[in-house]
Each structure stands twice: as C-alpha cells, then as structure tokens.
Structure 1
C-alpha cells in the first residue's frame, strides 16, 4: 500500500501545541486573529462561531471560554484590535508632520482613507457593516460600544485643533467640526470599498477633506 493509499480518507485535524505556563495571552490573541481572518475570508460575521474559531486555532471549543464568554465578545475584541491599529496608523501620520499643522491634518485624513482601502472587510466590521453588536444576551456593555474608535477620533480632533491654534482653520467648535470631517471621510471610505459602480473624480479626496476641514480657503 502506498503512502497516498494509506492516507486516503483520513481527516486531517489541526492540533495546536499547548501553551507553556504563563502563555495564555498568546491563545487569546490567536483566537482574535482567527476571528478577523474568518471575517476577511467570508465577509460574514455569522461565519465567526465558537466552533469555527476553535477549528481555525486548532483547539477544542471549550478552550475558548476562559478567554471569551461568547462569540460577540470575540468579535468585540477583534474590532478593538483593528481600532488600535487605526489609531497607531493615524498617530504615526501625525508624528511625521510635526512642523506643519495643515499637512499633518491632511496626512491623518489620507491615512484614514488608506486604512479603509487596504483593509476593506475589517473596516466594514469596525463600523458595524459585518456585525450587529447588541447588549441583550451578551457579555457586551454600553461602555464597550461607546468607546470604540474614541482614541482614533482624538487623533483627528488634535490635528484639527493644531490647525486652529496655528490660524490655518477658523472653528468655534473643534470637536463638532472634527466629527463632521470624520463623517465625510467615513462616507467616502465606505463608498470606495464597495463594488465599484461609479467613476470617482481624481481629486475627490481633496474635494471632501478641504471644505470639511475648512482648509479650502487656506
């Protein structure tokens, strides 16, 4: 009997090497990564189940419970991880333009749009396009949902506020104007990652950012 004949019909199961003592955090990260990968591949939050995540990681389903009480908690952790990545990307863009507030704000806005373009499924997941977080029958709290994206928004607020301080932008309510700017960025980002059905003008990014940031007159 050949090797191929002996292996025919045998179901291959991924077996994960057991963590050493003190490495439980690594398993938690692997669970989150598995959920994000399933969302990337399927575009369907219903594909993220305790069983599918466990299979992807190579563990038994009950092994998830010491880290997450339910699938929504896993999805929330995945979303929080993506927002952390967005915050870091925006922060890095802001730090590259420390001397020119106007260029710093533009860099933050363009980085936001680039993030959505390069991570379309995860971006949709972050803003509820792939999952519907609810508080009923889940481990989620209202604070969990309210705080999603707050640090990323703060980077945008600070970049706009620096423009106001430099006299580049006139604003009597920086937070409100930053929210309006984010709404424009989000709308453009979302429309650009859905199947293309419209030919966008080449300068659509500037047409959205400059008026909303009040930089068009600068």
Structure 2
C-alpha cells in the first residue's frame, strides 16, 4: 500500500452522496489550510478521503468544479451566519440587527482568513453582470440590501437601499481584507469599532 494512503471502506450501493460529502469536506479542509486554489490537487483530496483519484470524477468534472462547490457552500454558511446574527439581535430593532451582521461578518473573515481570501479572490469574482444574479455571492449581497432596507424603511427606494448596502459591505470588506492580509491589523475590538463607525456613516449618507 502506498505510504500516506488511507484506504476507505467501499460505499454500498446508493451511498454516492455520502462519498461526495466526504470529498467536499476534505477539499474544504485543505483549501481552508492553504487559501489558494492552485495548491489543491485531486490526487491529494483522494488520498485524504481514502479513494482512488479517478473516483472523484464520478462527482466533479474537474478541480474547478470542486473548488466552486466548496466556495458556494462557504457563501451559504456566511449568509447563514449573517441571518443568525440578525435574528438574535432583531428584537432590539433593525439597526441592532444590521450592526450584529456587520460584527459577525468581520468575525467570520478573521476566523477563516484563508477561506475568506479564496471566497473573494479574483478567480471567484470573474463573472459577467448577467451571471452575477445566479452567483452564490448574490445571496450575500441580498442579505445586506434587506437589512439596510429594514433600517431605512420609508426613507428611500430600492436603488438607494442598494447603494447604501454596497457602501457598507464594500467598506467592511476593505477592513477585513486588510486584517486578513496583515494579521497584526486584526484587532477585533478595533474592527468592531470601525464596523460601528461605518454603519453610522452608511445610514446617514
């Protein structure tokens, strides 16, 4: 047996989805550790799961599709985190919910720095305007627009809500991107205060 290869118990008939989840989990762990798509090899993923490399092609046509699926799940997890934060703080009003979302967003990025870089890397963003509406990142955008609209209810139209949501999200991304790129800048208390400042600025523009 090849050194470093852990043999997996063969799946029974109908358990293909279980194997697909294992492949995704292994790829996610490896990408979270490296943060670079180019470092991921299907052979390494197969070795981690304990299967022959060609078995991966039964579930994913190539590495790009595997990485895309991993990042799609990461976007979904981020949206779930934002919604959970808003729900927990929602009893104190829409502004408190939006503040909680901003704080959670920063925490997600700092807690998952390499995965965050991968999610918002250039190769992930190369989509046309028509494709964007179907990109999983769109759900993150919609979460921000909805939260901003709730704070500005009765004061603005959809276009203005979108403008303010972009201002807030893009600015938050700048803060966390710098913190991820330069760990010494990842002062959580400082990030929280800057997020609060951004929220005030965005909602008063």
Do both proteins adopt the same fold according to a TM-score greater than 0.5, normalized to the shorter chain? yes
More helix by share: 2
In 1: Cα distance, 2:177 partner to 2:115 partner? 12
Q: Structure 1 pair 124/145, CA: closer, same or farther in 2 (3 Å)?
A: farther
Residues matched between the structures, number: 197
Q: Structure 1 pair 107/134, CA: closer, same or farther in 2 (3 Å)?
A: closer
Note the C-alpha offset of 1:23: 1.7
1:94 maps onto 2:86 in alignment? yes
Quick one: which of 28, 36, 56 aligns to 2:20? Answer: 28
1:186 maps onto 2:179 in alignment? no
Q: Structure 1 pair 210/67, CA: closer, same or farther in 2 (3 Å)?
A: same
When the two structures are superposed, what TM-score results if normalisation uses the length of structure 2? 0.84
Note the C-alpha offset of 1:84: 0.8
In 1: Cα distance, 2:110 partner to 2:13 partner? 40
Could you say what the CA RMSD is over the residues aligned between the two structures, in angstroms?
Answer: 2.6
Q: Structure 1 pair 110/66, CA: closer, same or farther in 2 (3 Å)?
A: same
In 1: Cα distance, 2:89 partner to 2:13 partner? 44
Q: Which has the larger radius of gyration?
A: 1
Q: Structure 1 pair 66/144, CA: closer, same or farther in 2 (3 Å)?
A: farther
Tell which deviates more after alignment, 148-157 or 200-209.
200-209
When the two structures are superposed, what TM-score results if normalisation uses the length of structure 1? 0.80
Structure 1 residue ranges without an equivalent (≥5) = 1-9, 136-141
Q: Structure 1 pair 145/72, CA: closer, same or farther in 2 (3 Å)?
A: farther
Contact 1:178 1:213 survives alignment (8 Å): no
Note the C-alpha offset of 1:79: 0.3
* Paired position in structure 1 for 2:112: 119
